[in-house]
Amino acid sequence: MKLSRIAWLNIRRNRRRSFLSALAMLVVSAALVFAFSLLEGMKAEMARNVKDWTWGEIKIQHAQFEKNRLLNPLHLNVADADALVSRLAALPETEAATPRTAFSVIIQKDERRFQAQGIGVDLARETAYSRLPSFVSAGRLPEAGTREAAVGIGLARKLGLGVGDKFTFMTMTRNRSMYGVTLRISGLMDFPVAALNSLAFVLPIDRARSFLQLDGAALEIVAKVKPGLDPADVAEAWNAELVPLGLSAVSWTRSSVVYYVVSYIGVIFNILAAMFILLGSTVVINTTMMVVFERRAEIGMLGAL
């Protein structure tokens, strides 16, 4: 008798037990497919948010900026940032590059004060880098050279403001003096990062440079490399020219906390997957052993013959 025929006979012998084994394998397989699909989606989304909004694939800063970040060191900047961005964008390994200047502010509304973060951006380059216009939920982006800002929807809700309203904030300039600025809200932003929605607003980088007294500088330049290239290798190559200028290029794989979190999540999910497979295997093994013990007498007779 063929083994395939014996197998079908065993499956039909106890349909409930066969159904239980099949169901166990189906549940485990479905759970693993769902879990790993969810994990890969989460990892891809987290990586994209880091590359677009926090670190970039490669971040170029003054070499001493990160050590002194909490002191708001505007004097530790990237001088003549636009020229450097143009040079980087012309390199064959560069997909996109843009300057940014993020600074802390205090917004006064009635008798309350709110902490927030302004982000000065080059609107043309930022559109290519982070798809900025796609996150406008109402109104429009600010125009270069104007005292306008696009505000995160969470921050606008806290301030009780909408498109067309104005808000005033205080910030510290490069010379450590306080400066007050009033901007009109040109639009509302629905960022993919919750912290930005509740704290941030974007404005033209030329306006930010003006009241921060940065004179053509930016606090950082973020860049993306062409697909297939390792950002760490590219950053190391760029540092050969940047380090003598007092600058530093760092890959997100070397300094971003999110990168390490994503890596550890992958390890944890692999362990959970092994546990699920083991759990499903026990059901199949148990039902198989039940079949063997049920037919032990028949197996013994066949052995005797």
Report yes or no on 141 lying in a domain.
yes
Instruction: Kindly state whether residues 195 and 288 are assigned to the same domain.
Output: no
Instruction: Kindly state whether residues 205 and 124 are assigned to the same domain.
Output: yes
Residue of 211, 178, 192, 180 lying closest to 101 (CA atoms): 211
Report yes or no on 186 lying in a domain.
yes
Mapped onto helix, strand or coil, the DSSP state of residue 172 is: strand
Tokens of 174: 């490069």
Instruction: Kindly state whether residues 197 and 66 are assigned to the same domain.
Output: yes
Q: pTM, whole model, 2 decimals?
A: 0.78
- What is the DSSP annotation of 223-281? EEEPTTS-HHHHHHHHHHHHGGGTEEEEEHHHH-HHHHHHHHHHHHHHHHHHHHHHHHH
Cα distance between residue 81 and residue 220, in whole Å: 8
Q: Which of 254, 272, 295 is the last residue of a domain?
A: 254
Report yes or no on 139 lying in a domain.
yes
Instruction: Kindly state whether residues 154 and 194 are assigned to the same domain.
Output: yes
pLDDT of residue 44: 80
pLDDT of residue 43: 78
Residue that wins the pLDDT comparison between 263 and 268:
268
Q: Is the pLDDT of residue 302 over 80?
A: no
Q: With cut-offs at 50, 70 and 90, classify the pLDDT of residue 240.
A: very high
Instruction: Kindly state whether residues 12 and 140 are assigned to the same domain.
Output: no
Instruction: Kindly state whether residues 180 and 41 are assigned to the same domain.
Output: no
- At which residue do the structure tokens 């982000």 appear? 119
Cα distance between residue 291 and residue 245, in whole Å: 76
Instruction: Kindly state whether residues 176 and 66 are assigned to the same domain.
Output: yes
Cα distance between residue 72 and residue 177, in whole Å: 12
Centre a 10 Å sphere on the Cβ of residue 134 and count the other Cβ atoms it contains. Answer: 9
**Range with the largest mean pLDDT of 10-19, 146-155, 276-285:** 146-155
pLDDT of residue 265: 72
Instruction: Kindly state whether residues 264 and 246 are assigned to the same domain.
Output: no
Instruction: Kindly state whether residues 163 and 238 are assigned to the same domain.
Output: yes
Task: Identify the domain containing residue 299 by its residue range.
Answer: 3-47+260-304
pLDDT of residue 298: 60
Residue of 128, 132, 108 lying closest to 119 (CA atoms): 132
Q: Which residues pair with 166 in a beta bridge?
A: 184
Instruction: Kindly state whether residues 33 and 156 are assigned to the same domain.
Output: no
Report yes or no on 52 lying in a domain.
no
Cα distance between residue 156 and residue 88, in whole Å: 35
Tens-place pLDDT, residues 100-145: 999 999 998 888 899 999 999 999 999 889 989 999 999 999 999 9
Instruction: Kindly state whether residues 103 and 210 are assigned to the same domain.
Output: yes
Of the listed ranges 34-43, 147-156, 177-186, 275-284, the one predicted with least confidence = 275-284
Tens-place pLDDT, residues 216-238: 999 999 999 999 999 999 999 99
Share in percent of the chain as helix, strand, coil (round to 5): 55, 25, 20
Residue that wins the pLDDT comparison between 38 and 296:
38
Of the listed ranges 1-10, 17-26, 110-119, the one predicted with least confidence = 1-10
Instruction: Kindly state whether residues 268 and 175 are assigned to the same domain.
Output: no
Cα distance between residue 201 and residue 51, in whole Å: 19
Tens-place pLDDT, residues 50-76: 888 888 899 999 999 988 988 889 999
Domain count, the chain: 2
